[in-house]
Structure 1
């Protein structure tokens, strides 16, 4: 069962992504029986905090179905109180064992924040707020001497993971207790693969057997 531990949950996601990349998805839990089964309540095994980019549909790229994933999406996967509350609800009330920050290459929010740092902020309205929330990641990347787009994207993913745990005492306590893990994944738009960038509460090289990882929830 993917929800039996954070490690199994992560392995299930990565196995599903491998099926998606290979062009042989199982499309699990997407039938009428599953829909009826879930009508009384939900039981997701993972939370996906992802970018709102239209090319980043979590259930598709991880080959999952109804009720498997609790998905929260904002431009540039930026955090606000409503996002933190949603993540805490999924782990504390629904019992999800894994929180994933899902970033990707060619992220418009990251590109806009990088442009703002280098040439000044040109956006207005609430888009400006998104750019300002991504800016600390750009500054941290610059301080570390990172210039490649892929390295800056990874830095923003790591920053979001750190910010989640810094701002949510509930989540940090769950990770310390071994109940939940928080990981950052970077998604490649052209290739379709998701790779591990950072992890808290589970080792980056810690994997379950394939037959366990692909078990349906």
Structure 2
């Protein structure tokens, strides 16, 4: 049973590739229904004085994608930023910068998911309250997919939606580096790695893109 939280020395010893491998191995445990046994209350007590997460994950708000469980991570292991459609904005960028430059995280993981409702809405040009301006962040991925996938450019085309989910992850990764000089320098210096993946609702597996 795990009853120790990650500490500063352990965090500093990790490389970005170590962290990525750890997350992917955690996802394998999740897929195989072999999650690690954790003494959660012990970790609550241990982390009261500080936190040293190894990664920051930007994901969608979808209730079917419980990020910590998907990667079999415990209290104190990862930062999680969530917004419908897993895109970056100023607040998300600031949060990721804090995670990496201040708190020492080694990996940025942009996580999309199969059959994303926000992506479908963007594909269909939905307009509703503040959802309209939110979906504007996903439109670049919609436009990119329209040049790559044949058939209807809307949510009725499963291939189009899947490609847009993937493109949205890739474009978000690109914009994070373009919009944050701080993160870009850390990535260029191999202090931090940025990766993207898509979670399968049907299998629970995360596939890198």
Question: Does residue 77 of the first structure (1) align with residue 86 of the second (2)?
Answer: yes
Question: Does residue 6 of the first structure (1) align with residue 16 of the second (2)?
Answer: yes
Q: 2:50 aligns with which of 8, 24, 41?
A: 41
2:140 matched residue in structure 1 = 136
2:156 matched residue in structure 1 = none
Q: 1:91 aligns with which of 100, 103, 107?
A: 100
Q: 1:114 aligns with which of 110, 117, 123?
A: 123
**Which stretches in structure 2 are left out of the alignment for 5+ residues?**
1-9, 152-158
Q: 1:102 aligns with which of 88, 102, 111?
A: 111
2:206 matched residue in structure 1 = 194
Task: Please give the alpha-carbon distance, in whole angstroms, between the structure 2 residues aligned to 1:57 and 1:163.
Answer: 25
**Size of the alignment, in residue pairs?**
191
Report the TM-score, using the length of structure 1 for normalisation: 0.84
The worse-fitting range, judged by mean Cα deviation, of 19-28 and 138-147 is 138-147
**Which stretches in structure 1 are left out of the alignment for 5+ residues?**
117-121, 198-217
Please report how far the alpha carbon of residue 38 of structure 1 lies from its aligned counterpart in structure 2 after TM superposition: 0.4
Q: Deviations over 1:106-129 (max 9, x none)?
A: 10111011111xxxxx42221001
Q: Deviations over 1:147-196 (max 9, x none)?
A: 61322211111011111111111111000000000000110011000011
Task: Please give the alpha-carbon distance, in whole angstroms, between the structure 1 residues aligned to 2:78 and 2:37.
Answer: 14
Report the TM-score, using the length of structure 2 for normalisation: 0.87
| RMSD after superposition | 1.4
Retained in 1: the 8 A contact 2:19–2:106?
A: yes
